[in-house]
């Protein structure tokens, strides 16, 4: 299967350079320059990777990401010319999997995308399912339910949960989680791990999981501990 990347950015030079590099790496690429066109192209082509600039004419990247998250768990990477913490928090709260600040080197973006795709390919070796109390996780189907009710997670939130639940009671440092989930090509900030853990816990709690087994080990990292 050819992996399809949708790029939405009104910077023509950036789009041209990134498109050329992705095309050379064997990706199918669709490009648009505004938010409304991005959402239209996403619904028409259903790419498995979406790269969104936050500041675009009409609908901005945040609005587009929100719309995509209501329909898909595609990998979403947000781009911004600003390095403000507020922008990063907004992007991740919306459901983005990753965040890159301009200027960046195209090889960095492509490396992150490849790391994500390798994670998807590696799911076939996972056990069929995990069950704890009323939490049920099926890695091969990328399905999570609490008391039979589906829980909508982003791709990265699911991968964080699957990594922790596969080794119950083991403590993962942020660096270890990065290596398991993103691989050696990770160029982002370790705080991304904290953001994804926060949203994962929140979604499980909202679905009715009374005791969240994802615990913070102070000064070390995170663990899946079934016992309180």
Q: Residues 6 or more apart from 24 whose CB is under 8 A from it? A: none
Domain ranges of the chain: 4-121, 126-224
Q: What is the pTM of this model?
A: 0.64
Task: Choose the weakest-confidence range: 24-33, 58-67, 77-86, 143-152.
Answer: 77-86
Sign of CA dihedral 124, 125, 131, 137: negative
pLDDT digits (tens, 9 = 90+) for 171-199: 888 888 887 777 666 656 677 788 889 98
Report the chain's terminal Cα–Cα distance, integer Å. Answer: 43
Sign of CA dihedral 95, 99, 102, 103: negative
pLDDT digits (tens, 9 = 90+) for 21-57: 999 888 999 999 999 999 999 999 999 999 999 988 8
pLDDT of 124 above 60: no
45 touches 6 (CB < 8 A): yes
Structure tokens at 113: 């995308």
List the CATH code of the domain at 126-224: 1.10.10.10
Tokens 């994670």 identify what position? Answer: 119
**Would residue 58 be called left, alpha or beta, if left means φ above 0 and alpha means ψ between -120 and 50 degrees?**
left
CA distance 115 to 166: 19
Q: Which helix (H) or strand (E) holds 101?
A: strand 98-101
Name the CATH superfamily for 4-121. Response regulator (3.40.50.2300)
Structure tokens at 88: 């990063």
């Amino acid at each position: 299967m050819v992996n399809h990347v949708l790029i939405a950015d009104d910077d023509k030079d950036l789009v041209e350079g990134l498109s050329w590099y992705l095309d050379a790496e064997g990706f199918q690429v669709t490009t648009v320059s505004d938010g409304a066109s991005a959402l239209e192209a996403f619904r028409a082509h259903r790419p498995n990777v979406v790269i969104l600039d936050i500041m675009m004419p009409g609908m901005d990247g945040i609005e587009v990401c929100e719309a995509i998250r209501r329909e898909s768990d595609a990998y979403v990477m947000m781009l911004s010319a600003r390095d403000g913490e507020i922008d990063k928090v907004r992007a991740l709260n919306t459901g983005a999997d990753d965040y890159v600040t301009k200027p960046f080197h195209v090889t960095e973006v492509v490396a992150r995308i490849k790391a994500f795709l390798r994670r998807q390919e590696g799911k076939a070796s996972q056990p069929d399912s995990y069950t704890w109390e009323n939490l049920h996780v099926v890695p091969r189907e990328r399905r999570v339910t609490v008391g039979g009710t589906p829980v909508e997670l982003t791709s990265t939130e699911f991968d964080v949960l699957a990594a922790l639940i596969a080794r119950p009671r083991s403590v993962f440092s942020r660096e270890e989680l990065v290596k398991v989930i993103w691989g050696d090509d990770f160029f982002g900030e370790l705080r991304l791990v904290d953001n994804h853990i926060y949203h994962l816990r929140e979604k499980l709690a909202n679905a009715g999981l009374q005791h969240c087994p994802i615990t913070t080990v102070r000064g070390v990292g995170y663990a899946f501990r079934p016992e309180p």
